[in-house]
Amino acid sequence: METLDMKRLPKHIAIIMDGNGRWAKDQGQDRLFGHYHGVISVRRVVEAAAEIGIQYLTLYAFSTENWDRPAEEVTGLMTLFVDTIAKEVPDLHQNNIKLVFIGNLGMLPEEARAALKNATDQTAQNTGLTLIIALSYSGRWELVEAAKKIAEKALMGAIEVEAIDESIFAENLATKGFPDPELMIRTSGECRISNFLLYQLAYAELYFTETRWPEFRKENLVAALLEYQSRERRFGKTSAQIQQI
Ligand code: FPP
């Protein structure tokens, strides 16, 4: 961690927490065992991100596609989310962490929605790390929702079609008010974005690691940050232009 350049940290890190099922299978256990161990990694990574000084951390906990998993796994995951949130909120609040949920939350069971609302309300005034949990989320769902919201505003005459630009579009996304992630991490060897933050990841550095999510710890996060700091971010410019800035 001493080798990190604290002046060049990303403000926002997004993570696809993958590999719980495969990790559990390797232990001869069922998939939910992997998800339960995944929660330990969530805790460690949230602690590490707050300690390092990351301002926003988005975790992909459940995609809209995950609803199609076996009913037993979906129910088990919902129970795990509700129990974990209820258990962790006091600690998160104590550490000044603000919890936000993004996704098609209307699809969640009533009990889960109540737990999320309670967690959001309790931590709303906190000013430290913003922890964004993507639940029942997909990038395409979010883009279609944004298009609908903008179309409605245009139909009502609240906005001119010609005035629609990237900033207006971003204001209609679930991530309104958050900076785009500069770093996206995916665990467990898969090299895909899988419908995650499709608009916001336009210029993110992508970091893929073989480490499975239940084994991901602070040192893995630091390794990703060191790799991020070794890359040159050009945003479509030339290397010479970037070095002049
Ligand atoms: C992907 O691994 C993981 C998930 C679909 C669930 C992730 C959820 C957690 C880690 C719990 C987080 C809890 C909170 C409160 C944020 P996979 O099942 O796709 O693994 P596989 O690819 O090896 O099958």
Q: What is the C-alpha separation between 92 and 230, in angstroms, rounded?
A: 31
Examine residue 42 and state whether it is found in any structural domain, yes or no: yes
- Examine the residue annotation and report whether 95 is marked as an active-site residue of this protein: no
- Indicate which residue of 5, 20, 66, 220 is catalytic: 66
- The pLDDT > 90 percentage for the chain reads 93
Examine residue 167 and state whether it is found in any structural domain, yes or no: no
Examine residue 1 and state whether it is found in any structural domain, yes or no: no
Examine residue 155 and state whether it is found in any structural domain, yes or no: no
| Six-digit token string for 123 | 């931590």
Of ligand 1's atoms, which has the minimum distance to the CA of residue 60?
Answer: 7
CATH number at residue 93: 3.40.1180.10
Asked if pLDDT for residue 201 goes beyond 70, the answer is yes
The residue among 145, 94, 148 whose CA lies nearest residue 122 is 94
Confidence bin at 236 (pLDDT 50/70/90) = confident
Confidence bin at 240 (pLDDT 50/70/90) = confident
Cα 93 to averaged position of ligand 1 atoms, centre (Å) = 24
Q: For residue 245, what pLDDT is reported? A: 64
Confidence bin at 1 (pLDDT 50/70/90) = confident
Asked if pLDDT for residue 16 goes beyond 90, the answer is yes
Residues with CB under 6 A from ligand 1: 17-22, 31, 35, 38-39, 42, 59, 61-62, 66, 80-81, 84-85, 133, 188, 213
Confidence bin at 238 (pLDDT 50/70/90) = confident
Examine residue 31 and state whether it is found in any structural domain, yes or no: yes
Q: What is the C-alpha separation between 99 and 85, in angstroms, rounded?
A: 10
Residue 189 sits at the vertex; the CA angle it makes with 188 and 190, to the nearest 5 degrees, is 100
Examine residue 214 and state whether it is found in any structural domain, yes or no: yes
Examine residue 244 and state whether it is found in any structural domain, yes or no: no
Examine residue 158 and state whether it is found in any structural domain, yes or no: no
Question: How many domains, in total, are found in the chain?
Answer: 1
Residue 226 sits at the vertex; the CA angle it makes with 220 and 229, to the nearest 5 degrees, is 145
Domain containing residue 39: 9-137+180-232
- Examine the residue annotation and report whether 68 is marked as an active-site residue of this protein: no
**What average pLDDT score do residues 222-237 get?**
89
SS (H, E, C) the chain: CCCCCHHHCCCEEEEECCCHHHHHHHCCCCHHHHHHHHHHHHHHHHHHHHHHCCCEEEEEEEEHHHHHCCHHHHHHHHHHHHHHHHHHHHHHHHCCCEEEEECCHHHCCHHHHHHHHHHHHHHCCCCCCEEEEEEEECHHHHHHHHHHHHHHHHHCCCCCHHHCCHHHHHHCCCCCCCCCCCEEEECCCCCCCCCCCCCCCCCCEEEECCCCHHHCCHHHHHHHHHHHHHCCCCCCCCHHHHHHC
Instruction: Return the CA Rg of the chain.
Output: 19
| Six-digit token string for 152 | 């409605």
Q: For residue 2, what pLDDT is reported? A: 82
Confidence bin at 70 (pLDDT 50/70/90) = very high
Residue-averaged pLDDT of the chain: 96
